[in-house]
């Protein structure tokens, strides 16, 4: 607790006037925040927004932001009856000199969107006084009782700036009096979300518990594979020189039935996300560094920097240069959907009553959407960003969501899970129906229910391929992607683009959608849309058509339209 007398005179008189007019926060609490915020002045001319996935910026600019998100996390914990909240320091697939911070709600999901405006306000408060004043108002409005003390678990990825930023987060958390900051170390983002969820459910919630859960459920699925189909070949993993490859090294030690060679662990001089990782491979469709002609035909996978994205690829024998055949989030989703549907079919009429649905974004390749629809599944579209997909997937008994970029998971509703567990007792052990039900229960344990997780996603892909007796090439044949192209356009103000909720049509600037539609009409199987990025100062353009040449040309003409409507910067 900070004594009032240790404050500078000016601050102390401000404090006095503030506490006279507003009574919800104690003087000592106000003093605590005023004092600690003096340590973290906001850099000049920085305007931050919580965005699609938390705050991100050059790491040198972020101490004050992380400190303030520490305060927010304590308040969030207090608001939710002192449940544990997670704070993750990562900038995912962004360059190593960047960093970022985001909050995991006690459910293990993303911070409630209702709190994002408050996050933006405090991150941009220009002085300690403004900060305190905003917090005071918010605490009153949300009726947060500070006296109990909150709990925040702090995780970080392998970025060199992570440790320094974590110290700022700790000070932020503890400046809310009575709140506790627990440093849970270097983790992948999904590990932290999983641990927070487990902790609040009263389950074992350490990192070893996370690994143990993966190992047990993976083994259970392996044991349920019809023996004659078993096939194990080496998987080559690109760890993006980040935390995911390092965690996979640990996990690999506990697993049998998985042969994985890990490259780009960050220990061999490679730079985080530089020419490596899921974002690079998915966007560029070329091999990551450390892979080459010697890997032709091998099953390969890439994680992103914080291991919440997963894509697969292989180098075809006829590959010219460094091109890969990509199996993106849509293909992973299709594989998962197929496997789950197969289990439900085995269960029979009762299984068919399960509402199995798929959530995609406008970026999903049209061929994948057709494929899952032909399987008889319901498909819904959500806005880009995990929080939006997750919310929609919760509407189903089993909701599978994926972004094309490789972020996704499978959600099982509580009621469907208890139904499954009940059926495990009803059916005789060793019967087909019993096996199918047991597989679904094991999938629900293996796959991260909090958020998309490259480690658990990889294990599920691997076990399904073994179950089917499929090579990566065979899996790729589920459907053929329509050629597509993504480009980005730098504009003076990306917020001038306003889209419909599914992001398939632009409502503003007026007239641009008609112009885009006119372009689309010129191409067979043409589809295109624009949206403002949530993470970069650009407008993104996506185009699809029946040939690569057409997709490129459509993307370029739409990009030209963006420039002519918005001007280029
Ligand atoms: C963030 C999102 C990702 C989304 C991407 C879009 C999370 C955890 N991550 O990385 O889901 O696809 O932003 O970026 O939500 P953009 O808005 O710049 O296109
Ligand atoms: Mg990521």
What pLDDT does 229 receive? 58
**Cα gap 340→353, rounded to integer Å:** 13
First to last CA, the chain: 49
**Cα gap 70→456, rounded to integer Å:** 28
Whose atoms come closest to the Cα of 383: which ligand? Answer: 1
Phi, psi angle pair for 170, to nearest 5°: -60, -45
Nearest CA to ligand 1 atom 12: 385
pLDDT tens, residue by residue, 277-312: 999 999 999 999 999 999 999 999 999 999 999 999
What CATH class is the domain 484-566? alpha beta
CB atoms within 10 A of CB 560: 15
Tokens 């506990």, located at residue: 254
Check if the beta carbon of residue 557 is closer than 8 Å to that of residue 565: no
Residue 92 known to be catalytic: yes
pTM of the model: 0.94
What pLDDT does 12 receive? 53
Closest by CA position to 337, among listed 313, 381, 368, 382: 368
Task: Please work out whether the CB of residue 306 comes within 6 Å of at least one atom of ligand 1.
Answer: no
Closest by CA position to 177, among listed 309, 299, 75, 300: 75
**Cα gap 236→309, rounded to integer Å:** 16
Nearest CA to ligand 1 atom 4: 385
3-state helix, strand, coil in the chain (%, to 5): 45, 20, 35
Using N-to-C axis directions, what is the helix angle for 454-468 and 432-446, rounded to 10°?
A: 160
**Beta pairing class for 151-156 and 84-89:** parallel
Instruction: Tell me the torsion sign for CA atoms 248, 252, 257, 260.
Output: positive
Q: What is the largest CA-CA distance in the chain?
A: 79
Closest by CA position to 533, among listed 483, 565, 486: 486
Task: Please work out whether the CB of residue 384 comes within 6 Å of at least one atom of ligand 1.
Answer: yes
**Cα gap 218→205, rounded to integer Å:** 18
- Category of 28 on φ-ψ map: left (φ > 0), alpha (ψ -120 to 50) or beta: alpha
**Cα gap 187→153, rounded to integer Å:** 11
Query: Does 531 belong to an annotated binding site?
Result: yes
* Distance from residue 278's CA to the centre of ligand 2 (Å): 9
* Distance from residue 53's CA to the centre of ligand 2 (Å): 9
Tokens 């220990």, located at residue: 267
Cα–Cα distance list, 318 to 7, 297, 314, 325, 472 (Å): 70, 10, 11, 11, 16
Query: Residues spanned by CATH 3.40.120.10 within the chain?
Result: 25-186, 203-481
Q: Residue 502, Cα to own-chain centre: how many angstroms? A: 18
Task: Please work out whether the CB of residue 49 comes within 6 Å of at least one atom of ligand 1.
Answer: no
Phi, psi angle pair for 102, to nearest 5°: -145, 165
Q: Which helix (H) or strand (E) holds 279?
A: helix 278-284
**Cα gap 344→55, rounded to integer Å:** 41
Query: Residues spanned by CATH 3.30.310.50 within the chain?
Result: 484-566
* Distance from residue 349's CA to the centre of ligand 2 (Å): 39
**Cα gap 315→324, rounded to integer Å:** 5
Collapsing DSSP to helix, strand or coil, 538 comes out as: coil
Task: Give average pLDDT by consecutive 10-residue segment, the chain, 569 residues.
Answer: 42 49 71 95 86 90 97 98 96 96 97 96 95 96 90 98 98 96 98 98 98 98 81 92 98 94 94 97 94 95 98 89 93 98 94 93 97 97 95 97 98 97 94 97 98 98 95 97 94 94 95 97 96 90 96 98 89
**Cα gap 160→305, rounded to integer Å:** 13
Tokens found for residue 176: 């809310």
Tokens found for residue 258: 């998985």
Cα–Cα distance list, 262 to 245, 251, 265, 473 (Å): 7, 12, 7, 21
Annotation: CATH topology of 203-481: Alpha-D-Glucose-1,6-Bisphosphate; Chain A, domain 3 (3.40.120)
Task: Please work out whether the CB of residue 386 comes within 6 Å of at least one atom of ligand 1.
Answer: yes
Using N-to-C axis directions, what is the helix angle for 27-39 and 128-141, rounded to 10°?
A: 140
* Distance from residue 394's CA to the centre of ligand 1 (Å): 19
**Cα gap 187→89, rounded to integer Å:** 10
Whose atoms come closest to the Cα of 52: which ligand? Answer: 1
**Beta pairing class for 398-402 and 356-360:** parallel
Using N-to-C axis directions, what is the helix angle for 162-174 and 63-79, rounded to 10°?
A: 40
**Cα gap 309→484, rounded to integer Å:** 20
Task: Point out the catalytic residue in the list 77, 92, 104, 302.
Answer: 92
Cα–Cα distance list, 557 to 219, 497, 553 (Å): 51, 17, 6
Tokens 């900051």, located at residue: 181
DSSP state of 195: H
What pLDDT does 22 receive? 41
Cis peptide before 509 (omega within 30 of 0): yes
Closest by CA position to 357, among listed 422, 291, 401: 401
**Cα gap 305→188, rounded to integer Å:** 8
Task: Please work out whether the CB of residue 175 comes within 6 Å of at least one atom of ligand 1.
Answer: no
What pLDDT does 3 receive? 38
What pLDDT does 230 receive? 56
**Cα gap 25→7, rounded to integer Å:** 17
Cα–Cα distance list, 149 to 71, 84, 145, 197, 493 (Å): 12, 11, 9, 19, 42
Check if the beta carbon of residue 408 is closer than 8 Å to that of residue 330: no
Closest by CA position to 371, among listed 349, 397, 350, 400: 400
CATH of domain 25-186: 3.40.120.10
Q: For 366-408, where are the alpha helices, taking DSSP H only?
A: 366-374, 386-393
């Amino acid at each position: 607790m900070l004594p009032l007398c240790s404050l500078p005179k000016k601050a102390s008189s401000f404090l006095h006037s503030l506490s006279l007019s507003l009574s919800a926060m104690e003087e000592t609490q106000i003093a605590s925040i005023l004092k600690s915020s003096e340590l973290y002045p906001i850099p000049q001319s920085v305007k931050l927004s919580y965005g699609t996935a938390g705050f991100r910026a050059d790491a040198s600019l972020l101490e004050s932001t992380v400190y303030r998100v520490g305060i927010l996390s304590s308040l969030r914990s207090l608001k939710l009856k002192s449940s544990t909240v997670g704070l993750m320091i990562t900038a995912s697939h962004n360059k190593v000199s960047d960093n970022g911070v985001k909050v995991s709600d006690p459910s293990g999901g993303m911070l409630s969107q209702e709190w994002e405006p408050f996050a933006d306000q405090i991150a941009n408060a220009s002085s300690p006084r403004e900060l305190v004043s905003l917090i005071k108002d918010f605490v009153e409005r949300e009726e947060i009782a500070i006296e109990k003390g909150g709990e925040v678990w702090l995780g970080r990825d392998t970025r060199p700036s992570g440790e320094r930023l974590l110290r700022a987060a700790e000070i932020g958390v503890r400046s809310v009096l009575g709140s506790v900051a627990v440093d849970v170390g270097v983790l992948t983002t999904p590990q932290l979300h999983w641990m927070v969820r487990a902790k609040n459910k009263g389950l074992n919630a350490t990192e070893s518990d996370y690994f143990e859960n993966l190992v047990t459920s993976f083994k259970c699925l392996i044991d349920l594979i019809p023996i004659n189909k078993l096939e194990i070949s080496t998987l080559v993993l690109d760890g993006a020189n980040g935390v995911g490859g390092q965690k996979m090294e640990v996990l690999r030690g506990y697993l049998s039935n998985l042969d994985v060679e890990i490259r780009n662990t960050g220990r061999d001089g490679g730079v985080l996300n530089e020419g490596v990782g899921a974002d690079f491979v998915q966007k560029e469709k070329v091999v990551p560094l450390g892979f080459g002609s010697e890997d032709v035909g091998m099953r390969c996978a890439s994680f992103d920097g914080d291991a919440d994205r997963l894509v697969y690829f292989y180098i075809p024998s006829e590959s010219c240069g460094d091109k890969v055949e990509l199996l993106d989030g849509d293909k992973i989703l299709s594989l998962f959907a197929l496997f789950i549907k197969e289990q439900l079919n085995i269960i029979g009429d009762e299984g068919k009553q399960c509402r199995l649905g798929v959530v995609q974004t406008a970026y999903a390749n049209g061929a994948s959407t057709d494929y899952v629809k032909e399987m008889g599944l319901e498909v819904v579209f959500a806005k880009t960003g995990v929080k939006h997909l997750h919310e929609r997937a919760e509407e189903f008994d089993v909701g599978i969501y994926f972004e094309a970029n490789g972020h996704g998971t499978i959600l099982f509703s509580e009621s469907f899970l208890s139904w499954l567990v009940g059926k495990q007792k009803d059916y005789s052990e060793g019967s087909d129906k019993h096996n199918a039900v047991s597989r679904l229960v094991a999938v629900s344990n293996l796959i991260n229910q909090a958020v998309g997780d490259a480690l658990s996603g990889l294990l599920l892909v691997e076990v399904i391929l073994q179950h089917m007796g499929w090579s990566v090439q065979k899996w790729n044949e589920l459907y053929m992607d329509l050629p597509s192209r993504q480009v980005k356009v730098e504009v003076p103000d990306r917020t001038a683009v306003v889209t419909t909720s599914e992001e398939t049509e632009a409502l503003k600037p007026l007239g641009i959608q008609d112009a885009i539609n006119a372009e689309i009409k010129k191409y067979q199987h043409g589809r295109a849309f624009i949206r403002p990025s949530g993470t970069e100062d650009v407008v993104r353009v996506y185009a699809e058509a029946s040939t690569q040449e057409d997709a490129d040309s459509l993307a370029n003409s739409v990009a030209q339209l963006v420039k002519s409507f918005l001007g280029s910067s």
